[in-house]
Chains A and B, each alone.
Chain A
Amino acid sequence: MVKQTARNQFPGQQAIEKKGWWLAHKWLILRRMVQLGILALFLAGPLLDVWIVKGNLASSLTLEFLPLSDPYVMLQGLMSGHFPTTEGLIGVAIVLLFYALVGGRVYCSWVCPVNIVTDAAAWFRRKLGIKVSSQFSRSTRYWLLGLTLILPLITSAIVWELFNPVSLMFRGIIFGIGWAWMVILAIFAFDVFVSQRGWCGHLCPVGAFYSLLGHKSIVRVSAQKREQCDDCNDCFVVCPEPKVIRPALKGADKGISPLIDEANCTNCGRCIDVCDEDVFNFSSRFKD
Chain B
Amino acid sequence: MSDKQKRGLSVESEGKQAGKSKLSRRKFMGDTLKTACGTALLGLGMGTYSRQASSFPAWTIRPPGALPEDEFSGACIRCGLCVRDCPYDMLRLAELGEQVALGTPYFVAREKPCEMCEDIPCAAACPTNALSHELKNIDDARMGLAVLIDQEECIAFQGLRCEVCYNVCPLEGEAITIEMQPNRRSGKHALFIPVVHSDACTGCGKCEKACILEEAAIKVLPTHLAKGLLGKHYRLGWKQKEKAGHSLVTPDIKHRYNLPEGVRYDYNKGGLELPPEAKLERDSPFSSNPLESLKKLQNQESK
- Determine whether A172 belongs to the interface, using a CB cutoff of 8 Å to chain B: yes
Bound-state Cα–Cα, A140 to B39, Å? 8
Q: Is the CB of B75 within 8 A of A155?
A: no
Bound-state Cα–Cα, A56 to B47, Å? 25
Bound-state Cα–Cα, A65 to B97, Å? 34
Instruction: Determine which of B42, B71, B125 lies in contact with A147 in the assembled complex, contact meaning CB atoms within 8 Å.
Output: B42
Closest chain A CB from B77 CB (angstroms): 4
Q: Is the CB of B75 within 8 A of A80?
A: yes
Chain B residue nearest in CB terms to A150: B43
Closest chain A CB from B90 CB (angstroms): 14
A61 touching B96 in the complex, CB below 8 Å, given contacts A69-B127, A82-B75, A147-B43: no
Bound-state Cα–Cα, A167 to B96, Å? 11
Instruction: Determine which of B74, B92, B102, B133 lies in contact with A156 in the assembled complex, contact meaning CB atoms within 8 Å.
Output: B74
Closest chain A CB from B80 CB (angstroms): 5
A-B residue pair count with CB separations less than 8 angstroms? 156
Question: What is the interface residue range for chain B against chain A?
Answer: 35 or more
Q: Is the CB of A183 within 8 A of B96?
A: yes
Bound-state Cα–Cα, A176 to B102, Å? 11
- Determine whether A190 belongs to the interface, using a CB cutoff of 8 Å to chain B: no
Instruction: Determine which of A74, A85, A172 lies in contact with B95 in the assembled complex, contact meaning CB atoms within 8 Å.
Output: A172
- Determine whether A104 belongs to the interface, using a CB cutoff of 8 Å to chain B: no
- Determine whether B31 belongs to the interface, using a CB cutoff of 8 Å to chain A: yes
Bound-state Cα–Cα, A263 to B80, Å? 31
Provide the residues of chain A in CB contact with B78, threshold 8 Å. Answer: 56, 58, 73, 161, 167, 171
Bound-state Cα–Cα, A163 to B42, Å? 12
Chain A contacts with B in 175-196, Cβ cutoff 8 A: 175-180, 182-183
- Determine whether A105 belongs to the interface, using a CB cutoff of 8 Å to chain B: no
- Determine whether A38 belongs to the interface, using a CB cutoff of 8 Å to chain B: no
Q: Is the CB of B96 within 8 A of A60?
A: no
- Determine whether B36 belongs to the interface, using a CB cutoff of 8 Å to chain A: yes
Closest chain B CB from A61 CB (angstroms): 6
Closest chain A CB from B282 CB (angstroms): 80
Chain A residue nearest in CB terms to B85: A54
A178 touching B35 in the complex, CB below 8 Å, given contacts A58-B78, A84-B129, A158-B77: no
- Determine whether B84 belongs to the interface, using a CB cutoff of 8 Å to chain A: yes
Bound-state Cα–Cα, A273 to B103, Å? 38
Bound-state Cα–Cα, A262 to B208, Å? 58
A81 touching B77 in the complex, CB below 8 Å, given contacts A159-B46, A171-B93, A172-B95: no
Q: Is the CB of A158 within 8 A of B79?
A: no
A178 touching B129 in the complex, CB below 8 Å, given contacts A54-B85, A80-B74: no
Provide the residues of chain B in CB contact with A178, threshold 8 Å. Answer: 94-98
Closest chain A CB from B118 CB (angstroms): 19
- Determine whether A137 belongs to the interface, using a CB cutoff of 8 Å to chain B: yes
Mark interface residues in A138-182 (1 if CB within 8 Å of B CB, else 0). 011001101100111011111111110001100110111111101
Given A55-B84, A147-B42, A151-B46, 14 more A-B residue pairs with CB atoms under 8 Å apart are A55-B80, A82-B129, A85-B127, A87-B127, A88-B128, A157-B73, A160-B46, A162-B103, A167-B103, A171-B103, A175-B83, A177-B96, A178-B94, A178-B98
13 contacts between A and B (CB under 8 A): A58-B80, A59-B81, A77-B128, A82-B128, A151-B43, A156-B74, A158-B74, A162-B53, A163-B46, A171-B78, A174-B80, A175-B95, A176-B95
A-B residue pairs, 3 tightest by C-beta: A178-B95, A80-B74, A88-B127
